[in-house]
Amino acid sequence: MADIKHFDPDATLETVVRLFWKQGVAATGVQDVVNATGLNRSSLYSTYGGKQQLYLAALNRYVTVRSQPVFQQLAEDERGLPAIADFFRGLISARTSGEHARWGCLVSNAHAGAESNDQEVRAVLDRHHQELCHALRSALETARREGQLTDAADPASGAELLALLAYGVNVRSRAGGDARSLRRTVDAALDSLRAPG
C-alpha cells in the first residue's frame, strides 16, 4: 500500500498560523512557509492545496484554537463584569507583551486585507464576530442578573459595543498602542456599563 506523511499536518499548520499572523498574508511567501516548516513544496501543495487554501486553513485554526476557548471561558464565567474585565486584561496583555506582542489578531487583520472580499474568508470573520458577541452577551446577561449593570445598559447592544472595542484594541495594538492607555480605555467602557453605587 501507500506511504504515510512524514510530518504532522496540524503542527505544521500552527507554524503557518504564526507566519500569517505576524507578517500578514501578502507579505508571507510560499518560500517563507517552506523555510519555517521544513516541508517541501510538494508536501505543502498535496496536503493543503495552494496558498489561499492554506491561509483559510490557518484562519480556521486560529479561530478554533486561539479565539473559541477564550470566548467559551468568558461565556461560562459566572462573575459577570469581572469576567469581562479579565477577558480584556488578558487580551491587552497578549497583544502588547510576550511572544505575540504587536502581532494584532489574525482575524482583525484579515478584515483589512484584500482577502476579506473572499467569500470563504468572510464567512470565518462573520462566525468569529458572532461568537465573540455571543460570549460577551452571555457575560453581560450574567452581570444583569447580578445587578451589576445600569438599567439603561442593554446586553445585546452592549456586547456589540465591547466586540467593536476589542477590534479597536487589536488594531491599535498592532501599530504600537500602549497597554496602559488601552487598559484605561477599557476600564472606562466597563465603568459606563456599571450600576452606580
Give the binding site for a second copy (CB under 8 A): 23-24, 26-27, 104, 108-114, 116, 122, 125-126, 129, 150, 152-154, 157-158, 160-161, 163-169, 171-172, 174-177, 181-182, 184-185, 187-189, 191-193, 196
Instruction: CB nearer to a second copy: give 79 or 129.
Output: 129
Build a one-symbol-per-residue string for 20-59: x at contacts with DNA by CB under 7 A, - elsewhere: --------xxxxx------xxxxx-xxx--xxx-------
In whole angstroms, give the CA distance from residue 59 to residue 48. Answer: 13
Residue 45 interacting entry, from DNA, a second copy, none, C-beta within 5 to 8 Å by type: DNA
Structure-block grid coordinates of residue 172: 491599535
Q: Does 11 bind DNA (CB under 7 A)?
A: no
**Binding partner at 183 among DNA, a second copy, none, C-beta below 5 to 8 Å by kind:** none
Nearer Cβ to DNA, position 19 or 92? 19
In this complex, which beta carbon is closest to DNA, that of residue 45 or of residue 167? 45
Taking CB under 7 A as the criterion, which residues in 129-158 touch DNA?
Answer: none
- Least CB distance from residue 2 to a second copy, whole Å? 39
CA distance 162 to 178: 19
Phi, psi (deg, nearest 5) at residue 142: -60, -45
What is the 3-state secondary structure of the chain? Answer: CCCCCCCCHHHHHHHHHHHHHHHCCCCCCHHHHHHHHCCCHHHHHHHHCCHHHHHHHHHHHHHHHHHHHHHHHHHHCCCCHHHHHHHHHHHHHHHHCCCCCCCCCHHHHHHHCHHHHCHHHHHHHHHHHHHHHHHHHHHHHHHHHCCCECCCCCHHHHHHHHHHHHHHHHHHHHCCCCHHHHHHHHHHHHHHHECCC
Contact of residue 4 among a second copy, DNA, none (CB under 5-8 Å per partner type)? DNA
Is 1 a residue that touches DNA (CB under 7 A)?
yes
Q: In this complex, which beta carbon is closest to a second copy, that of residue 27 or of residue 65?
A: 27
- List contacts with DNA (CB under 7 A): 1-7, 28-32, 39-43, 45-47, 50-52
